[in-house]
Structure 1
Amino acid sequence: MSNASQNFVSKTILPPQPAPAGEKGAAHWIRKNLMATPKDVVLTILAIALLAWAIPHIVNWLFIQAAWTGTGRTVCATTVQGGTQPDGWSGACWAFVYSKFTIFMVGLYTPEERWRPALVAVLAILTIAPMMIPSFPRKGLNAILAFIVLPIVSFFLLYGGFGLEVVETQKWGGLMVNLVLCFVAIVVSFPLGILLALGRRSKMPVIRMLCVLFIEVIRGIPLITVLFMASVMLPLFLPHGWTVDKLLRAVIGVSIFTSAYMAEVFRGGLQAVPKGQFEGADSLGLGYWQKMRLIVLPQAIKLVIPGIVNTFIGMFKDTSLVSIISMFDLLGIVRQNFSDANWASPVTPITGLVFAGFLFWLFCFGMSRYSGFMERHLDTGHKR
Structure 2
Amino acid sequence: MTKQTYVPGTHPSLPPPKGTTGIAYWLKMNLFSSLSNSVITLLAIYLLYLAIPPAINWLFLDATFVGTSRKDCAPDGACLAFIGERFNLFVYGFYPAELRWRVNLTAILLVVASAAVLWDKIPARKYMLWFALAYPFIAAWLLLGGLGLESVSTHLFGGLMLTLTIGVTGIVCSLPLGILLALGRQSNLPIIKYFCIGFIEFIRGVPLITLLFVASTMLSYFLPPGSTFDLLLRVLIMVSLFASAYMAEVIRGGLQALPKGQLEAAESLGLNYGQSMRFIILPQALKVSIPGIVNTFIGLYKDSTLVIVIGLLDPLGIGRASVADSAWLGLSTEVYLFVAIFFFISCFGMSRYSLYLENKLNTGHKR
Shared fold per TM-score greater than 0.5: yes
| Paired amino acid for 1:369 | R
The residue aligned with 1:6 is: none
The residue aligned with 1:370 is: 353
Matched, 1:28 2:13: no
Q: Distance in 2 between matches of 1:297 and 1:19?
A: 45
The residue aligned with 1:12 is: 8
Q: Structure 1 stretches (4+) deviating beyond 6 angstroms?
A: none
Structure 1 counterpart of 2:61, from 64, 69, 77: 64
| Paired amino acid for 1:290 | Q
TM-score computed with the length of structure 1 as normaliser: 0.91
The residue aligned with 2:3 is: none
SS at match of 1:23: coil
Q: Deviations over 1:108-146 (max 9, x none)?
A: 111111111111111111222232222125545333322
The residue aligned with 1:157 is: 142
- Offset, 1:382: 7.1
The residue aligned with 2:100 is: 114
Structure 2 counterpart of 1:105, from 91, 101, 114: 91
SS at match of 1:114: helix
The residue aligned with 2:41 is: 44
| Paired amino acid for 1:322 | V
| Paired amino acid for 2:243 | T
Map residues 1-384 of structure 1 onto 2, 5 A cutoff: 12-13=8-9, 14-76=11-73, 85=74, 89-146=75-132, 148-344=133-329, 346=330, 348-381=331-364
Q: Distance in 2 between matches of 1:28 and 1:270?
A: 43
Structure 2, unmatched stretches of 5+, are 1-5
Change (3 A) 1:383 1:182: farther
Change (3 A) 1:68 1:229: same
- Could you tell me the percent identity over the aligned residues? 50
Q: Distance in 1 between matches of 2:319 and 2:258?
A: 45
SS at match of 2:86: helix
The residue aligned with 1:7 is: none
| Paired amino acid for 1:114 | R
Q: Distance in 1 between matches of 2:260 and 2:122?
A: 33
Change (3 A) 1:383 1:305: farther
Structure 1, unmatched stretches of 5+, are 1-9, 77-84
How large is the RMSD of aligned CA atoms in angstroms?
A: 1.7
Q: Distance in 1 between matches of 2:84 and 2:313?
A: 19
- Offset, 1:319: 0.2
Count of aligned pairs: 362
Larger CA deviation: 29-38 vs 135-144:
135-144
Q: Distance in 1 between matches of 2:106 and 2:69?
A: 32
Q: Distance in 2 between matches of 1:332 and 1:121?
A: 21
